[in-house]
A and B are shown apart, each in its own frame.
Chain A
Amino acid sequence: MISDKPVILCVDDEENPLILRKLVLEKAGYEVVTSTSARSAVEIVSSRHVDLVLSDHLMPGAIGTELARQIKANHPTIPVILLSGVNEIPADAGAVDVFLSKAEGPERLCEKIAAALAEYRKPRSTP
């Protein structure tokens, strides 16, 4: 492991929200890798270490749930959190760990990320 900080892959097609989200997460003490498309995100996950994927749900090309499925297919131990503005959980959300409204705010976002990381770290510590 290069650094102690957990690595978060942040995916969003919009540049400003992506940058701001990255800054918030970095301030919260995470190392942040960004990607502006689901396709490049999948490449990043397979090419380097990532502890958690935080992705926008509605993106051009593959949407968040599709991305989650692709990641879980090869990396079932990486938690996937989707940030969503929609008011319904999509039917194919089986691969997603947490859905989070964009209106929840930065503090709640950080709480959820921490909780998800803790959840995934537990089983890893048992063996």
Chain B
Amino acid sequence: MSVNPKVNILMVDDQPAKLLSYEVILSELGENLIKATSGREALEYLLKTDVAVVLMDVSMPELNGFELADMIRQHPRFQKTAIIFISAVHLTDLDRLKGYERGAVDYISVPVIPELLRAKVSVFAELHRKARQLETLNRQLEERVLQRTAEIRELNSELQQRVAELETIMQVLPMGVAVAHDPECRFITGNAALSDLMGMKQGDNLLKSGDGELPYDIYQNGQKLQPGEFPVQRAAANRELVGTVELEVRRRDGQMAHVLASANPLFDDSGQIRGAVGVFFDVTERKSLEDILRERAELLDLASEAIVVHDSAGILSFWNSGAEALYGWKREEVLGEDINRILRTGFPVPQKEVEAPLAAAGRWEGNLTHYTRDGRELIVASRQALKLGSRGRSVILEINRDITAQLQAEEALRRAERLGAMGRVAGIIAHEINNPLEAISNAFYLLRDHPSLDEEARYYARLAEQELARVAHITRQTLSFYRESQYPVSVAISEVLDNVLELQSRRVQLNGIILEKVYRTAGIIQGFPVELKQVFLNIVGNAIQAMPQGGRLRVRVYECIEPSTGRQGVRASVCDTGSGIDPEHAKRLFEPFFTTKETKGTGLGLWISKGIIQKYEGTIRFRSLRFAREHATCFSVFIPGTAFGQKQELTVSLAAS
């Protein structure tokens, strides 16, 4: 709508000249001017268009101005249409005019003063325009009111539906809901689930019961709560959310339930507290399941095996204490990680051959290689089972038992058996040789200085005797487990070593070896001197042979406690800075007939030495370090014994008496 729409001004006069003059006068107003030369024509215009002002001459031949005005007024639509009469002033006319006063009527006497006519018409035109605008506004307002009313009605019914839905939901909800209807929480109702949980009838005030005593008590952490401490009451009193708390509902009929509860205050539109709502979730079943699960988890943690759970991609979701102990990885470090990456799993067969039977039969068993956190290699007997998880994801349960030590023990046993078998064979052969050897030795001994032999024959006999000595040396080494005496005597290891070093002193000197002796103790044990001498003759002899270009030889004797067994005893070590031991040779060092000295060694020395030390329930071990310039090899013999203080003296004195 434009600000100033034009209105229609209807001019009625039977004389066109007058009409023309009005038109000239009123054209300044800028309104629509309609000319009618008769009352009939004017009526037609009125019916067709909305006319703001009718300007009419009173005296017209066919239908005069008053008659036309009466007709106009009769029509209800035009009762308020403004009419301006133009006429000469007659008294009678004035009276008549009064009859129209209800409506908007005016008159202008002739001669017509143009300014007056313009002013009057303009007033009515403006009035009409305003009336029209008001009507439009009114109509629009009514339309909007109607529209709003419809909307509100719709909202209201929707709201009612929602309320009905909510109420239904509340009643079928498996969760307990409490509503406090006043800020002091005097009246609290519960839905079906909550009333049931509390042992009350639905719709009853949860804080009142017929006989005055509530049919339930609420406990938190084993302490009974007063009604003011219930979550709903606290939410209302403190005007704030009460986060989830774990409660125990103990009913008078003996039933008990674990619930998780939370509550929220309710405010009205003005922000005043008007009550509170609480939600109670029965977790009794879940709680007992949790208890069972916790027990299971504790059981799993008691197991010494590593028990782990991972998905098909190896991502870990469980890691028990056994796994922590075995692998050295803490639970929080590995959960979510790939087990095969963490443990650097080595499969005995291609990984696919593990996965295929797992997928097909749900099970796999076999040995795996794993590495601990600190890099130790383990062999584990692994049992794996595929389980379908609750969410459609399959998980693999894996139980691993460390069998490294067991395998090593088996390997050691096999090696010992092999050594034993070789030793027996060597023994039998040596024994069979020993008998004729003695006879031949005796024969050459007799022959050596026989007077009938000339120089040349004696030379041959001596050569033969020397070579025979080599054979004797081998068999003696092999069979030298014999003891000259049946009973062990007190032997000082330091003395045995001194004895050996004296025997070797020439070679020590020749090779330019610096000798260092550190005896922290005499190292007295019960034993057979010949055997011990043989052991150290081997070890010291090897050390000297390893240093043809000189070096340092350090011999130490000290009392100690063997860390692995806690036994007391004497340790003697012989260290050299010689050629060192090839790591490839290290494993075979104590095997019979193993020698690095080519033709010079029997390959029996260390094997026999080990056998002797084992008879003393001792250990013999070595360590060889190879550096760029220098190597160091250290042989160490531990012999357990009561070589300490009084006990030793007691043994000696008993033996003496």
Contact = CB atoms under 8 A, between A and B. Distances in A.
Nearest to A91: B486
Contacts, number: 86
Per DSSP, chain B at the interface is: helix
B434 A85 contact: yes
Contact of B442 (A17, A89, A101): A17
A20 interface: yes
Interface string B459-503: 000000000010011011011111111100000000000000000
A89 B479 contact: no
Nearest to B443: A20
A106 B475 CA distance: 15
Contacts of A107: 445
Chain A interface size, as a band, is 20 to 34
A96 interface: yes
B477 to A, nearest CB: 9
Interface in A53-107: 83-89, 93-94, 96, 98-107
B479 A85 contact: yes
A81 to B, nearest CB: 10
B170 interface: no
A105 B441 contact: yes
Given A98-B484, A105-B441, 16 more contacts: A14-B435, A14-B439, A20-B446, A21-B439, A24-B445, A27-B446, A86-B431, A87-B427, A87-B430, A87-B479, A88-B481, A89-B486, A94-B486, A98-B485, A100-B484, A101-B434
Contact of B438 (A27, A83, A86, A112): A83
B283 interface: no
Give 8 closest A-B pairs by Cβ, nearest first: A85-B434, A102-B438, A20-B442, A17-B439, A103-B476, A85-B431, A106-B445, A87-B481
B437 interface: yes
A33 interface: no
Interface of B: 427, 430-432, 434-439, 441-443, 445-446, 469, 472-473, 475-476, 478-486
B476 A17 contact: no
A97 B430 CA distance: 24
A117 to B, nearest CB: 16
A23 interface: yes
A125 interface: no
A24 B469 CA distance: 17
14 contacts: A16-B439, A20-B439, A83-B438, A85-B479, A98-B484, A98-B485, A101-B475, A101-B476, A101-B479, A101-B482, A102-B434, A103-B437, A103-B479, A106-B445
A105 B482 CA distance: 15
A106 B442 contact: yes
Nearest to B471: A103
Contacts of B427: 87
B29 to A, nearest CB: 152
A21 B441 CA distance: 10
A82 B645 CA distance: 38
B579 to A, nearest CB: 30
B529 to A, nearest CB: 14
A102 B484 contact: no
Contact of B482 (A16, A24, A84, A106): A84
